[in-house]
């Protein structure tokens, strides 16, 4: 079971960009689906983007065209590039990984096996 270490959150203004990183500690993401989720206060956790072991991706409709999920060639880090940020993007962002369903880009949160600690993203007007 891979351990996940997130970084890159912060406070930005609307329209700014931010890149989140999710690093695999003690292994790689080879054979894993990796997803980025977010949870705003009072709301359910939602899938923002996911990348399967073979590289297929899936995005929440609200972020399509603004966010990009990608990984490095060594499959040690998965990134979430966020452009044109909106106040509605404010949330705690979590990365998650799972090996059993490695080719499922729509995998729901409860089926992911490993989770990071979360990183706060705040977008001001």
Distance CA 85, CA 106 (A): 23
Average predicted confidence (pLDDT) for the chain: 96
Q: Give 104-117 pLDDT, tens digit per residue.
A: 999 999 999 999 99
Tens-place pLDDT, residues 60-105 = 999 999 999 999 989 899 999 999 999 999 999 999 999 999 999 9
Contact between residue 50 and residue 105 where contact means Cβ atoms under 8 Å apart: yes
């Amino acid at each position: 079971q891979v351990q996940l270490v997130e970084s890159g959150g912060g406070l930005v203004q609307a329209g700014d960009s931010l890149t989140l990183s999710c690093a695999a500690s003690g292994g790689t993401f080879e054979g894993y689906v990796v997803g980025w989720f977010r949870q705003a206060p009072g709301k359910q956790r939602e899938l923002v983007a996911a990348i399967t072991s073979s590289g297929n991706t899936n995005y929440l409709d609200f972020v399509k065209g603004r966010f990009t999920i990608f990984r490095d060639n060594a499959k040690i880090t998965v990134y979430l590039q966020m452009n044109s940020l909106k106040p509605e993007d404010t949330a705690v962002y979590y990365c998650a990984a799972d090996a059993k369903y490695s080719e499922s880009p729509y995998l729901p949160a409860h089926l992911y096996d490993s989770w990071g600690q979360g990183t706060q993203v705040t977008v001001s007007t």
